[in-house]
Structure 1
Amino acid sequence: MSMKKSAVQFVDSPEQREALDAVIEKYRETEGALMPVMQQAQGIYGYLPYEVMKVISEKMDVSLSEIYGVATFYSQFNLNPKGKYKISVCLGTACYVKNAGGVFDRLERVLGVSNGECTSDGVFSLDATRCLGCCGLAPVMMINDDVYGRLTPEEVDGIIEKYRKLA
């Protein structure tokens, strides 16, 4: 099993660890409780870091590979932290044929991260999606709730700079 650790340094507070321990204790003896524990752990940390999956594994006596399998099977789980500004780029057919790939490549270069990753300062995370429901505006990206349509790769730098100033 190969688990890639996030570029962002994992740090948890005593309050987070206490909350995680309480969740695990609550469900420890409950059959089939792995999903609720993982969901609540993600709620505590904002994602499921390797270190948290390891704690769940040890304290619930569930193999780390089973936890990782669940985390990677269900799209609701994030193995990497999300940034203050969550960038989603549609790579669905309508967007892709209008050069969404070029927009995505430019974002990777400007931010210095790949798909599913978060910048080391925690400001931006980048995710490829399949459809944002804005096909008429192709290519489209969203930054949190802001929609940007009919994008060109050349526009990326200015948009990112706007958010950097807000951060």
Structure 2
Amino acid sequence: MTDVFDDLTRQRSKEIIAQYPQSRSALLPLLHLVQSVEGFVSQGGIRFCADELELTTAEVSAVATFYTMYKRTPCGEHIVSVCTNTLCAVLGGDDIYQRLSDKLGVGHEETAGEPGTTGSITLEHAECLAACDLAPVLQVNYEFYDNQSVESAETLVDALQRGEKPHPTRGAPLTDFKTVELELAGIFPDLEHSVEGQSTAPETMRGAALASDRGWLAPAMPDSAPAFPELPEKK
């Protein structure tokens, strides 16, 4: 077993596992814990999870290779995820991704700079980031930067490469990939800092605000659900 998983990591692993009635249910957060230490999921990380959960390495690998948030190669200090799904793409997401790819000299899930060092960046395409009303969007370490353009995205990446951490459009202050992975594992060394910041955008709340101003209400729910219609007999 590699020494990278120290006593603190093992203690955190035990705390995570204790939250679940069946230990194998802790696999997803444990993989995030591994990434908080290594910056990706290595073969050693897979063995660590398998040993902690009494699973086979094949079982852990099946999960680690299924979800795109688990990275199989070392990542940069920051992961920049550019949404290139339909709406973001037609509003400029494809152009943003291409400009950043050209600027950094990397492709999908490749890293500019020495992985883990200050200013290093892993670039990736992202499927829908659930912010269509703010398109085009990108994320840095899963924090949102809304209403982007080619120019603003390039300015953002320049700042990241200088070691700066521009504040996201909404959400918590920007940290780094390993810190976010620790939080995704359920460990919050600084919980107050992790949850501060506005989580919604005016564009998202505009419909609710309009309804409130005009006194619009959704129809009341019935006291009891209507009877389920009879189904025809199967033949």
Post-superposition CA distance 1:4-27 (Å, at most 9, x none): xxxxxxx964xx333455547x96
Post-superposition CA distance 1:75-105 (Å, at most 9, x none): 5544455543332211121111234223212
**C-alpha separation between the residues in 2 aligned to 1:125 and 1:45?**
14
TM-score, scaled to structure 1: 0.63
Partner of 1:69: 62
* 1:96 maps to 2:89: yes
- For residue 73 of structure 1, give the secondary structure of its aligned residue in structure 2: coil
Partner of 1:132: 129
1:138 and 1:151 in contact (8 A); partners too: no
* 1:40 maps to 2:33: no
TM-score, scaled to structure 2: 0.49
Q: CA RMSD in A?
A: 3.6
Structure 1: unaligned runs, 5 residues or longer: 1-10
**C-alpha separation between the residues in 2 aligned to 1:166 and 1:126?**
16
* 1:17 maps to 2:10: no
Please report how far the alpha carbon of residue 138 of structure 1 lies from its aligned counterpart in structure 2 after TM superposition: 3.1
Structure 2: unaligned runs, 5 residues or longer: 165-235
The alpha-carbon distance between structure 1 residues 163 and 72, as it changes in their structure 2 partners (threshold 3 A), is same
Letter in 1 for 2:82: V
Partner of 1:159: 156
**C-alpha separation between the residues in 2 aligned to 1:142 and 1:57?**
31
The alpha-carbon distance between structure 1 residues 76 and 36, as it changes in their structure 2 partners (threshold 3 A), is farther
2:83 and 2:129 in contact (8 A); partners too: yes
Residue identity (%): 21
The alpha-carbon distance between structure 1 residues 34 and 114, as it changes in their structure 2 partners (threshold 3 A), is farther
**C-alpha separation between the residues in 1 aligned to 2:153 and 2:41?**
29
Structure whose CA Rg is larger: 2
The alpha-carbon distance between structure 1 residues 31 and 48, as it changes in their structure 2 partners (threshold 3 A), is farther
The alpha-carbon distance between structure 1 residues 113 and 33, as it changes in their structure 2 partners (threshold 3 A), is farther
2:30 and 2:49 in contact (8 A); partners too: no
Partner of 2:100: 107
